[in-house]
Amino acid sequence: MQSTQFNELMIRLELLGIQNDEEVSDRKKKYLNITRDTGELFSVLVKLIKPKNILEVGTSNGYSTLWFAASMSEGGCITTIERNENKIKEAKANFLESGLNERIEIVAGEAMELLPRMEKRFDIVFLDSDRDIYEPLLKDIIRLTASGGLIIFDNAISHRNEFDSVMTAFNNNPEFTCSLLTVGKGEFLAYKH
Query: pLDDT per residue over 162-172, tens digit each?
Result: 999 999 999 99
Q: Is the pLDDT of residue 28 over 60?
A: yes
Half-sphere CA count of 71, side-chain side, radius 13 A? 21
**If you average pLDDT over residues 135-150, what whole number do you get?**
98
**If you average pLDDT over residues 160-182, what whole number do you get?**
96
Residue 25 CA: distances (Å) to CA of 5, 19, 56: 31, 12, 25
pTM of the predicted structure, to 2 decimals: 0.96
Q: Which residues pair with 81 in a beta bridge?
A: 57, 107
Q: Is the pLDDT of residue 59 over 80?
A: yes
The C-alpha atoms of residue 165 and residue 146 are separated, in whole angstroms, by: 22
How would residue 51 be classed by pLDDT, with cut points 50, 70 and 90? very high
Q: Is the pLDDT of residue 14 over 60?
A: yes
The C-alpha atoms of residue 185 and residue 165 are separated, in whole angstroms, by: 18
Q: Is the pLDDT of residue 1 over 80?
A: no
The C-alpha atoms of residue 95 and residue 98 are separated, in whole angstroms, by: 5
Q: Is the pLDDT of residue 65 over 80?
A: yes
Q: Is the pLDDT of residue 2 over 80?
A: no
* pLDDT score for 137: 97
**If you average pLDDT over residues 25-36, what whole number do you get?**
95
* pLDDT score for 3: 81
